[in-house]
């Protein structure tokens, strides 16, 4: 009755037609992993007294083989075990490379079967048993558990091929927050305070979900915040929840550093966004380290100077001094961001606290009011256009009747519809 949907299976057949038990990985981020491990121990400890007492004449050879089949193996599936045929080449058409780094590369692909776009992350070829392989497997485990939330990049599948780990995720057509920041810097543009609050609120929703699963991200930063841009007029199931006037959906991605909130040995993320307590090996409140990194991510998106990796400026931030931003932000918003980088992690708000914070609730309400005004203006414009269209149709009908009643007369420029230009402010 155990669910093994998040596992990888690998079967072999030897020359004696005896099937070995499938190799299976235990996902440490799921409650089922404890049940699976318990079942494994019970099966390993299971004895068959009648086999010892019997001479073997009352047992068929197939019975012995079946008994061996249910015994789980002692080793796990590694990335070195792969199919002879390339699944990547057979199932996907590669369009372009959209990202690269120390982990490997990400490609924009079309799946040949369904014709939809996906992002395929292909890791570099790691050594078997290395830290890189462990990180790649951990990312798969995390995606399998967390990939079903609006503000987390959606996960579809993963497989090992020629020693590489490949992860099929949703394609985010807006790139990353880091891309937006680079474009803004080139155009001398900035995100408005309302847009910054929108960013903070959406990522906080994603963190709330991650933290509710007793997991932490540990590498929140602009390059790991992905963007999906909705077409104008599209409807999303999360619109009512967010209540924001935005066609931008922010999603948390790159889960290679995800770990359990109770873990006391973590893989450190980018030092520019790293909370000081994690550097000091205090892992008693890892969820608040995500909050610290989120505040600096918002500050970076506001146009602040590049964050320091070390030195006095690095320590100033860890003492609770917010980096300067080149735009005027409200004191209430700056106060919230400052609280999020408090040197004492217990003083920082949780993701749930952020979602309920008055500063963000006020932004949500004002944004919803603005959207309501724009919708009302659009409805008014459509109503005027509809009335003008009806008048034009009536005029055209009258003109047609007059033309039929007189064979010698011609209608030139009379009772014809005129083009109408409307500007609603």
Quick check: 243 and 201 in contact, CB under 8 A?
no
- The helix or strand, by DSSP H or E, that contains position 89, with its residue range, turns out to be helix 87-91
121 is in an annotated binding site: yes
393 is in an annotated binding site: no
**In sequence order, which residues have a C-beta less than 8 Å from that of residue 260 and are 6 or more positions away?**
28, 29, 214, 215, 216
For residue 351, CA distances in Å to 274, 292, 344 come to: 17, 11, 16
Identify the sign of the CA torsion 332, 337, 343, 348: positive
DSSP per-residue string spanning 236-301: -TTHHHH--S-SEEEEE---TT-EETT-SS-----GGG--HHHHTT--TTHHHHHHHHHHHHHHHH
106 is in an annotated binding site: yes
At 229 the three-state DSSP class reads strand
The alpha carbon torsion through 176, 180, 182, 186 (nearest 10 deg) reads 160
CA atoms lying within 13 Å on the CB side of residue 26: 15
Q: What is the rounded CA–CA span in Å between residue 165 and residue 334?
A: 41
Question: What number of helices (H) and strands (E) belong to the chain?
Answer: 14, 9
Q: What is the rounded CA–CA span in Å between residue 292 and residue 281?
A: 16
Identify the sign of the CA torsion 256, 237, 172, 154: positive
99 is in an annotated binding site: yes
- Which residues are known to be catalytic? 219
101 is in an annotated binding site: yes
258 is in an annotated binding site: no
Identify the sign of the CA torsion 299, 305, 310, 315: negative
**Would residue 162 be called left, alpha or beta, if left means φ above 0 and alpha means ψ between -120 and 50 degrees?**
left
Q: Which residues of 353-390 are buried (b: 16+ CB within 10 A; e: fewer)?
A: ebbebebbeebbeebeeeeeeeeeeeeeeeeeeeeeee
Identify the sign of the CA torsion 212, 218, 220, 223: negative
Residue 152, token pair as written in the block: 């987390």
Q: Are strands 155-161 and 104-111 parallel, antiparallel or unpaired?
A: unpaired
233 is in an annotated binding site: no
102 is in an annotated binding site: yes
Residues tagged in the binding site annotation: 98-106, 121, 224, 254
Residues tagged in the binding site annotation for Mg(2+): 224, 254
Residues tagged in the binding site annotation for ATP: 98-106, 121
């Amino acid at each position: 009755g155990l669910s093994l949907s998040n596992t990888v299976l690998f079967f072999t057949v030897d020359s004696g037609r005896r099937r070995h038990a499938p190799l299976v990985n235990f996902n440490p981020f799921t409650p089922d992993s404890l049940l699976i491990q318990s079942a494994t121990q019970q099966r390993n400890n299971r004895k068959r007294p009648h086999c010892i007492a019997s001479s073997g004449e009352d047992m068929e050879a197939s019975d012995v083989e079946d008994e061996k089949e249910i015994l789980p193996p002692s080793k796990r599936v590694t990335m070195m075990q792969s199919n002879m045929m390339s699944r990547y080449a057979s199932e996907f058409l590669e369009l372009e490379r959209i990202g690269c780094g120390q982990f490997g590369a990400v490609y924009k692909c079309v799946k040949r079967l369904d014709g939809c776009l996906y992002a395929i992350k292909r890791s570099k070829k790691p050594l078997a048993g290395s830290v890189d392989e462990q990180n790649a497997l951990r990312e798969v485990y995390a995606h399998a558990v967390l990939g079903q939330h609006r503000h987390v990049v959606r996960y579809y599948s993963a497989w090992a091929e020629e020693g590489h780990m490949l992860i099929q995720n949703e394609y985010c057509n807006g790139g990353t927050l880091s891309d937006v920041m680079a474009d803004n810097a080139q155009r001398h543009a900035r995100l408005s305070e309302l847009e910054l609050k929108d960013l903070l609120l959406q990522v906080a929703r994603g963190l709330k979900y991650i933290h509710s699963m007793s997991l932490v991200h540990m590498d929140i930063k602009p390059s790991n915040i992905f963007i999906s841009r909705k077409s104008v007029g599209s409807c999303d199931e999360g619109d009512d929840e967010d209540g924001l006037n935005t066609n931008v959906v922010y999603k948390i991605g790159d889960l290679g550093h995800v770990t359990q909130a109770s873990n006391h040995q973590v893989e450190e993320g980018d030092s520019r966004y790293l909370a000081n307590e994690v550097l000091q090996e205090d892992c008693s409140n890892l969820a608040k380290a995500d909050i610290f990194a989120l505040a600096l991510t918002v500050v970076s998106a506001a146009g602040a100077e590049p964050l320091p990796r070390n030195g006095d400026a690095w320590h100033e931030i860890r003492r609770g001094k917010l980096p300067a931003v080149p735009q005027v932000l409200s004191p209430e918003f700056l106060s919230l961001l400052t609280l999020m980088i408090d040197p004492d992690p217990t003083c920082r708000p949780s993701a749930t606290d952020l979602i309920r914070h008055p500063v963000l609730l006020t932004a949500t309400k004002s944004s919803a009011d603005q959207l309501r005004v724009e919708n009302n203006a659009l409805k008014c414009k459509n109503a005027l256009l509809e009335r003008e269209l009806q008048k034009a149709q009536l005029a055209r009908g009258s003109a047609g009747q007059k033309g039929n009643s007189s064979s010698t007369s011609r209608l030139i420029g009379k009772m014809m519809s005129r083009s109408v230009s409307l500007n609603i402010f």
